[in-house]
Amino acid sequence: MNPGFRTYRCSSGQIEISVETPEQWHALAVCLGRPELAYEGGWDVVKESPAAGRTADVVQEMFYEDTAPSWGEKLGAHSVPFKVHA
């Protein structure tokens, strides 16, 4: 598990993301409104990071701003692999 492959709490429900490539990580960062997370080589760092570290804290903060179904629509539009948990 890493920040790109875990479940996050939303304001309502949870979203599970399954990012496996630099392109997916970039798409997630853009979707979250945090494109700076997708710096060159960023995915290599993230995939080795702990699932509950600083990067995950930033991602958690963003996901908590909206509901899981709403994030599901946004992630789907950006081709980020996910599952919604009510």
Report how far residue 63's alpha carbon sits from residue 44's, in angstroms, rounded to the nearest whole number: 22
Q: What is the pLDDT of residue 44?
A: 93
The answer to whether 66 and 13 are in contact (CB under 8 A) is no
- Phi, psi at 43, each rounded to 5°: -65, -40
Q: What is the pLDDT of residue 15?
A: 98
Q: What is the pLDDT of residue 85?
A: 93
Q: What is the pLDDT of residue 2?
A: 95
Q: Which residue has the tokens 């409104």?
A: 33
Report how far residue 45's alpha carbon sits from residue 32's, in angstroms, rounded to the nearest whole number: 18
> 4 Cβ partners below 8 Å, 6+ apart?
17, 18, 19, 20, 24, 25, 28, 43, 46, 47
Supply the pTM of this predicted model. 0.92
Query: What parts of the chain have a pLDDT lower than 50?
Result: none
